[in-house]
Every structure is written in structure tokens, then in C-alpha cells.
Chain A
Amino acid sequence: MQHKTVIVRPELCVGCMQCAIRCAQAHSATKELATAVFEPVLAKPRIHIGVGVNPQGVLKPFPNKCRHCDPAPCQEACMPGAIRSDIAEGSKVVDPALCIGCGMCAMACPYYAIRYHHDLHAPERTITAIKCDNCHDRQKKGQIPACVEACKTGALEFGYVNEHIKKGAGRLANAAWSMQS
């Protein structure tokens, strides 16, 4: 079954980092920017703007996030079974209650999509793996992922990968500026 996902079109990214800030806000306890930045354990963004190089050698921002691979190498590397497929269909979601912060998932992830921070959902642990959860909470409420909502340039879209391919829009979620092919 196909699931809607966040499609990244790095050629449209201007590097404003709105996606990152709104992502952290959406994953905060209070969900409001004005209060989220005062929370005792700060929420962390799950999308990051990496510095890439386009084929012409020009520095370009690259919005980088979890691709929710299937099969997912991070999930195969996760010893306590903290990366779960049963929280939201089609998404690989870290269960902070199970994560031990060992680092194996990031070792297995080729995309630099998993980071380690003190997580407000597991405050008793010093670090927990933090990655995109496809905003499944927001999706349940009929909202689209926060990063997509924040994107002003169309570099992030929420849709079906297949339809996107049909549209011939070129680059997919896997696309990266940094490849010098």
C-alpha cells in the first residue's frame, strides 16, 4: 500500500530553515513557538538543512530527513526494537520508551537522518534517537507534516511518490545535491 510522504525537491530549497524550526515546534510539548522555546527539555527538529554542492559546484541547501525506507536499515540495526512500524502505518517511528541511545540506527542510516538528543518524551535518558515521524500525530488530526506546511518554496511536498514520478518532477526523496555524478 502506498502512503503519502514528504517529497523533497532540493532544487527549490532556499535554506531558510523554516521546516526545521516548525518541526521542532510541532514536536514540542506545547506546540506553540512562543512557549516551545521556554520548555525545560527543548524539542529538536527532525529535518535538517545540510550544505550540498550542486552539479555546477555551487553550494546549495539540502533539506534532509528520514525517508522511511522499507526495509529500513535503521530498524534492522535497532536492538531494543525501538524503531517501530506499528505506530503509524508506512512510517518508521522511534519509540522513546524503548530507545537506549546506542547509536546503531544512525550507523545503519545512509542519510544522516537520525540524531541524538535529550528528548522530552524520554526525559530520564540522557540521549535518545530522534528522527522524522512523518508527523503522524498531526496527520491523525487531518494536518499535513509541519515541515511541508512551513515550506514557502515547494521544496517539501506531501504526496504520493508514484504520482510525483508521473509528474516528472525529477528528483525524489532520495535526491541529494551532494552527489557529483
Chain B
Amino acid sequence: MRYVVVGLHAAGRSACQWLRRADPACEIVGVDPSAGSLYARPLISYVLDGELPEHALVKDSAPFFENLGVQLKRAAAVGLDANRKRLILDSGEELAYDKLLAATGSAPRRVRLEGDGADHVCYFRGQADLARILAHVKSGGVAAVLGGGLVGFKLTHGLVARGMKVKLMVTSPRPLALNVDEYVGSWAGARFKEMDGVHLMTSTSVVRADVHGQGLRLTLDDGSTEDVDLVVAGKGVVPRFAWLAEAGPETDQGLLVDNRLMTSVEDVYAAGDAVQASDIVHERPLLNAIWPNAVEQGRVAALNMAAKGPAQGPAYAGSIAMNAIPIFGTHMVSVGMVNPRYTEGCEFITTTCHRGSYLNIVIRDGVIVGAVGLSAVPRLGELAHAVRTRMKVSRIPARWLKNPRNAAPLAGNTPWYKGSRVGA
């Protein structure tokens, strides 16, 4: 049995581990142009703000894959012949597979600007992006950050830590419009307004970028201009799956999959950012391009790929939006459905306790569908569990809400995490 894993990042690596665990004798081939390095992309923000030294970001991947017995192909996939079960690489080589996992992730969403400076806009996705930004970082200089989401936040923080003045330009009337509720969004906005070196510009878009001396001159939608040394955009991501388009998988924004994470193409599975899996809360395929989903999907896909005969691997329960970022000395966290655009008509339970923590639980039809909080990380884990298991709000003891700091956990007798216990 030969498994080919295309893309060796969060989902691909997780899949390799679980394929090996499930099928000790199988052949695994990993395909990735940057297969030689091992790192977690999201950590680039910790390098930017100096929390993590640059050298700690990337490690040699050889020992990791060697231990798993994964054969590495440092090449990019450019095509898929599903009938012959062949993967076509940019080297021209064809690679036969029995089962294939598409885990090619996503790319930053490009901003479309007028002007000759448009190509100078940086993004914040991987190691190369980080290097490009660091090359332009100038202590005392001015940077424009486009996008008020989590990436924009991390960028702002990192660039300020590097001594730059940051103009944070947000299209929405408040930052984090999509990620948190109004309270936390406003709280974060207020913190940014207090922060030295940050100029938060809401309801603002850039329409044009021109090269201006060493830097760029940005033209905003109100016609005004801003001269900056660096422009970085954090406007979300776009799944990468063009390489297998010829094989004709069903797609929407990303690859569509069944509940075993198989695409509409036989024996081709998908996991990670490239996938538009069903969202647990919204009950429809949505992009939830975050690390834990990718790793979990990698595992579930692998176990289904390795399932023999009529046996099936675990069903994928669905993806979920979930984020935690340490910011302003606390953790800002959200899970499930919290975007006010979707939570209209929902009920809310808001609970606060001393030391500035805040927790807002979103309830729809008596079921917990989301939660957002400040300084409430550990408890958000339980609420994420509640969201996943569609826990009824009536099952949260009043005590828990009254005493979020000390209450016993919500999780009960049922092991909720039903990944199969391979080898147990």
C-alpha cells in the first residue's frame, strides 16, 4: 500500500504520523517543495515580535520523517491523473499512489491595488514572507497594516515591538469584526488606541500604492495619502488546490469532502487549509483555516485512508473556528459562532469575574454555539468542547457560570474525543 501525502505542513505531517501508526508496514511518500524544513507557520508572528528567536523557528525535517519512514520528494505537485492514480510533479516525474492526501494548504488573499507599488505589498504567511518583512523593518519607520483580523493584530504587535510606527487600516468600523464579539472587539480597539506607535484607522481601505522614494505612498478611499516604509496585508487566505483541478473534484472556496474527508475523487482525501469541511456550528462547508483543525483532519483522513476493507476510520465531526492570541497581557479567545453578523437572534450569557476576565457564551435554540472571552483561555477549552458536542446550555450548572475561575470542568463521563485508539 502506497500513500502519497501532498503538502507536509500541519495536516500533512499529522497524516504521516497517523498513517504510520495505523499501518506500520505501508509505504508513505511525502511531496513538498520545502520538505527539508520543519516549522509551524503561525509561529512567524512570535518571531516578528521577538518572543521566539529566528533560529528556533525552523528545524531540519529529516529526522522527523526518517523516524516515520516517510520518503520525501522535494517537488511541487502540478497535476493529478485520477484514472491512472498518478500524481504529476513539477520535475515531470509521475508518482503512483493507492491513496492520496491533498494537504497543500492555503495562500494569503492578495489585495488588489492600483499603482506601481502594488507588488511591494508584503503578506504574512510563511518563512519567506517573514524574511521579506524583516528586510523592510526600519526602527522609527512607518508601516501600514491592512486588515483588522488576527493576523493584522499580530503584525501590528510585532512591528511595534520592532520599533515601527504602525497605521492599522481596517475596512470595518471596528477591528476583529469577524473574530470576536463587540465587547472584546471594542476592548481591543481601545487598547490599540492607547498603545504608543499605533494609529488605528477604522472604516478605511487602501485603493492605490505608488513607489515613493525608498517607500510607498498609499492612497486611501477618502483620497488622502499616507507615506510608509512597509505595507503588510492580512486579509485572510485562499485554499490551494489548482494542481488537482484537472481531476475534477467538487469544490467551492476550497475542496469539498465527505465525512471521511475524501474528496469526490476516489481515493483522494483532503485535509488542512485546502479543505472546506463542514462547520459544526454553521452546519455547512466553511473555511476554518486554523492549525488544530488541520492537524485533526490530517489524523482523521489518515485513519480513513488506512482503514482496511469495509472498515471505516472515524467520521469527521466537522471543523470549528477557534483562536487564542496572547495580547495586551491577557489572552483573547474565541470559539465557534461569535461573529455578530451570525449571532443575531441568539441568546447570550455573559459572565465576568475579578481580575478582568470576561466570558460571553452564545446560545442558539438552547445549544451552546460559541463563546468569546478575555483571560479565560482554560475555560474556553471546555466551551469549545460544549460547542463540539452541541451541549445544551441547561447542562451548564449555575455554579459554573457563577464561579468560572474555580468551577469543576463541564466535560463529563463521555470521552468526547472519539479518535480511534490505534494500537490500544
Chain A interface residues (CB < 8 Å from chain B): 1, 10, 49-53, 59, 62, 64, 69-71, 73, 76-77, 79-81, 100-104, 106-116, 125, 127, 171-172, 174-181
- Contact present for A76 and B399 (CB under 8 Å): no
With the chains together, A117 CA to B384 CA distance in Å?
22
Q: How far is the CB of A97 from chain B (nearest CB, A)?
A: 9
- Contact present for A107 and B295 (CB under 8 Å): no
Q: How far is the CB of B170 from chain A (nearest CB, A)?
A: 23
Stretch at the interface among B134-142, B217-225, B324-332: B324-332
Q: How far is the CB of B273 from chain A (nearest CB, A)?
A: 14
- The interface centre, meaning the residue of B400, B416, B417 with most chain A CB atoms within 10 A of its CB, is B417
- The interface centre, meaning the residue of B295, B333, B378, B403 with most chain A CB atoms within 10 A of its CB, is B378
Chain B residues with CB below 8 A from A70, complex form: 421, 424
With the chains together, A175 CA to B413 CA distance in Å?
5
- Contact present for B413 and A103 (CB under 8 Å): no
- Contact present for A107 and B415 (CB under 8 Å): no
With the chains together, A109 CA to B200 CA distance in Å?
34
Q: How far is the CB of A70 from chain B (nearest CB, A)?
A: 6
Indicate if B412 sits at the interface (CB-CB under 8 A).
yes
Q: How far is the CB of A92 from chain B (nearest CB, A)?
A: 13
- Starting from the known contacts A106-B324, A127-B326, A174-B415, 17 additional A-B residue pairs (CB-CB under 8 Å) come to A50-B406, A51-B406, A51-B408, A52-B407, A71-B417, A106-B380, A107-B323, A107-B335, A110-B417, A112-B379, A114-B378, A171-B413, A174-B411, A175-B413, A178-B410, A179-B395, A179-B410
Chain B interface SS verdict (over half): mixed
Chain A residues with CB below 8 A from B274, complex form: none
User: Which residue of A is nearest B51, CB measured?
Assistant: A100
Stretch at the interface among B40-48, B88-96, B246-254, B259-267: B40-48
* Cross-chain pair count, CB within 8 angstroms: 150
Which of A52, A76, A80, A103 is in CB contact (< 8 Å) with B324?
A: A103
With the chains together, A115 CA to B324 CA distance in Å?
13
With the chains together, A53 CA to B409 CA distance in Å?
11
Known: A50-B406, A100-B52, A107-B335. Is A73-B411 also a contact (CB below 8 A)?
A: no
Which of A51, A106, A178 is in CB contact (< 8 Å) with B378?
A: A106
Chain A residues with CB below 8 A from B381, complex form: 106-112, 114
With the chains together, A64 CA to B410 CA distance in Å?
11
- Contact present for B395 and A112 (CB under 8 Å): no
Chain B residues with CB below 8 A from A52, complex form: 397, 399, 407-408
- Contact present for B292 and A179 (CB under 8 Å): no
User: Which residue of A is nearest B39, CB measured?
Assistant: A80
User: Which residue of B is nearest A67, CB measured?
Assistant: B415
Chain A residues with CB below 8 A from B323, complex form: 107
Chain B residues with CB below 8 A from A107, complex form: 292, 322-324, 333, 335, 377, 380-381, 384
Q: Which 7 A-B pairs have the closest CB atoms?
A: A110-B385, A52-B408, A50-B408, A103-B324, A179-B412, A62-B408, A79-B40
